[in-house]
Structure 1
């Protein structure tokens, strides 16, 4: 076999894009480092079939074209067509999940959009915008999405094909607590680029782009035609696109851009590997031969390279021909035909001919070669015979390629869990595969399987040294399914055969049982806390951690299962480990521990940094928690406007708790102007997602006849549904309704109060204690009413806590002291007797149990002990 030389090995990794309000943002920000470079994630949405707005015939076609182009540019593409609001939320979450380890983030949207107060909102197909309240629950703020992209990737691309005239029914919408007027129904608002960014529109801001008469819009068509140009710098591409669009639209549409780029950027890059055989070849022929085929073996090149050859030293006594065309020193020969070049001699004595040539790639790489034709009288003449290239040349040419095409491929299978990163191929390869020589080309790669060699991503057409095959790794897309990667030999031993790598990806059992709702780093939709089966989830998540110790998501999900099981100390360990490894939802839950004082000393101020960091990444639960803290001033200085902004972001992402929290603020007019219709809109959106909080709040509206017609039967059914779903205080609301009606069994009312009290509701604890105080037969044992008053006081529920404190202050001191001592005994204190006297032994025992400063007032001491006991009873804190 010949020696193989590699001339040139150059990569310029880049990107691709397209559409008709092409609003492109490239932000070359730093801050993200990954083991594999050049990974790309894209979200492509096309909305055509609007239910209540005008249809857009090209939008889905534009998105389909974009998805196809981006896959060729090695993006992991999430495509959504005709998405409603829930579908849009899911698509955005899926996209953000792929960004967890992506270098380049791209979002493409084709459909209706609206600009309000200088911000741009995309509209799902079920949007109507018929009332001022609809924008916050029916749209998605593009500015927010771009912020999340910046937090999780090193380069962002935003493409908006939505610069059209949109027929909105309403001209004013609420943003936060303000009602603002839509500035214009034409086009989108202009954005100022950040440093290292490029913003491009298919037409000027506030102007309308054209769908055109074809299946795709003029801009998308032009962009798709130019996007895969190898190693073309973005500004060069935009110049060509601008000229094409102006020509296609007769000057009515002029692409527009603003740049703050500080370096070059390429949409599509190409591996430039050029492999050639011997640079000096000798052909021996009879002096009587008049035609000699040079038999120069074409080089092997990575996909997409265009190669030409020129003969810079022609024969001294003859000419070169390709077919019937004579070759001159200026003739460029397609390298694919170079083996067909023939030397035709002149009559007379024939000297040794030295014919030199130069092969050149369109990327600049060159290689020189020489063919020596020696006329040897010892060789028998053969009329018009064609000399063959040396065997060494053939080894790197089509002979091997042809043999490989006919050979049965080696097939290997990889079974992988989605969201666990790149997995090495080496474990799946047969033993003989690792010892192969030569080169292989990636001839096929399913969109659901990405390929990397060490730290670099590979694309179709790239060459891999055969000995490097065992070093490549495969990563499946973040969804279950099957894919395939095919490597075909292009040089090497004659027995070389193709390698077909089958990839089957599935969701790990831990993800199925314990995935968190709306987790932007999860791989499943997740489940509500009341549906989590803790024991089973704990077992499978521990197995997942053992198999994939590098994946923080599994540690978070184990922590979630432990949290639901009341194992708070163990849960905190897992959440901290997951947070340190970059899983942001764990930060939100760690913050909740500090707010509740579960497993750690209660300190709401320590929760805020966790909430802030996770909220910036786009985690809706953290945005909700931060919003509440800012509005209530819990651990942070009160900031109403900022709190409302984070509530709005969480609502936009589909977070039902935020819908209810914001709805409650408007229902009761707390800190914001009262607006019951807006509250109804938010509660209804939550209930439609089967959230027990939304169900409970809609039940209250029916109970009170607010916005809707009063219907107590409907109200009770909804509240019962919420209570059965483990809502903390829906049982108390039912009990109060029954009490008001005056015909219910007191034991049924008490049961509802008691169940809600056990779930941590202060009012329920107070009401149950009141009923016990009035009817001792309801008590399981003496003193239970005092303990429930203490629980109400500990839960810090405002009015119920205050009233419980008053009851405890008026109770018999000896009885109160005995309950303190009984609580200490239940908590494991030694040397304490329930004698009703708070002596030094009792105080020392309390100090040992509670640590820190023990309250002097007996009522407060009892409340602290009962609260500690309640936590030890493993309540579902994740439901609060």
Structure 2
């Protein structure tokens, strides 16, 4: 036994050394995501030269800076821009740092900034709101990021649409360049390539002067983003003979926030994920030990990890008389092949109740709405009270060890608490017990790079495991990988095939994604009537975003005759269900909705007691307050 103690402690010593040595490199503990859009091939204006090169250069710079998701897009029509922003919004919601970079044409109308898709015609100033994308819409796509929301606009080029654009109203101010707009959100910066109302140069090189400087400056380690953008300004002014002056709007809190982190010092403490990795390697050899001394050494080293908790439980078990001991929990090994963890878990039979336990506090706080094992309705991931759920599920597993649904729910609670590495190990344990929902969530962690290195191929493998077992939501996730080309070649036809399989199994997201493919003409002929039909199916299944899409379709007569009454009905339902997207559309893009739609919405608000003002063809401040109240804001 003495030799075994020496062996375990030697492993601990090596693990500590590796953890300290491995932390000396550049660290990116936070999640950084970026969407890059370059619009060059304008269908109704002269083609731009630089945007594809700008996107390529920015992608290389951000990759070097450690961004975990970089989504490059070129030559997007309006619908493509909206879809790209919607998809990126999902990534930004869970990110610490989110960046949107745009290279192409932009313009200002009545103090509102617009980015111009490649299919814009802009025959009249009235067309701008319908054919372009507002800067507000771009900002909404990154508002979920926690530390930094950065929008970079190389969009102040000389606009070829302006000279030929007819004016419907002399009071509608259309100017070159972009307006200086102060973002309303916190921790938000907007970087413009040129001062308000002025035009930016394209330059003679592969990139514009603004983007050429960005590519160079982004990768400078340890420079605060505000200073970095100031250096870009100085570069551009020098390169253009003071003819072009970039500027930045917004504000950040105190402290240094760099896009390219400085290398950590050699004496820095290992990160929690590194500690967890060490513990995962050591624990399988130690978990059966009866030596309290070596268990105590392990527990102290990994006190803040899941495995430290297991060591503490093992120590307590060894203090209980043999006749009343219970079997230790099964913890699968965190191996490079997750199947190894499954085999290891299967080798030991966990203590399980003869019948599923009754509803627990863990069920009420962390059950997955799509988990077939759930008890009760379940809780949306974003609504999990992480601290309470972790404690409740830990208590439930003490009372009902090895219960499949409780293991999965404990994993969800840890996931919500951003203890991703521990969530990964717990999901593995739940999968070993037969949880299809756990397989789906393991795939999601691989897709997002949370707790494990990002690996789209591994994500696809785990999504397929869940789908093979009939877990409906995994079909749409596989389709999503094919639609965006993540880990596989982009294939809209294959995406549609998976979405249809998901829809056949009642998955609501699959219905909505089929609608989006028909709307964008991806893999199928563009068909707004068919998109409308699928949005209706998704809305009938409870999808709030599809209600918002239906409101837009009926308002604009897309795929059906214009019907402001139907549009108002769907918009009202979307707001009633708390649609943040619909609320923002009505508050910030009111001109996109018809006068009759406005009056119909006011009638509905009045009938439900939210509004007692006049019925008009626009929203006054009282009406805006009523819309917020309806949406629960």
- TM-score scaled by structure 1? 0.36
Bigger RCO (CA 8 Å, 6+ sep) = 1
Larger helix share, 1 or 2: 2
Q: Pick the structure with greater CA Rg.
A: 1
Larger strand share, 1 or 2: 1
- TM-score scaled by structure 2? 0.48
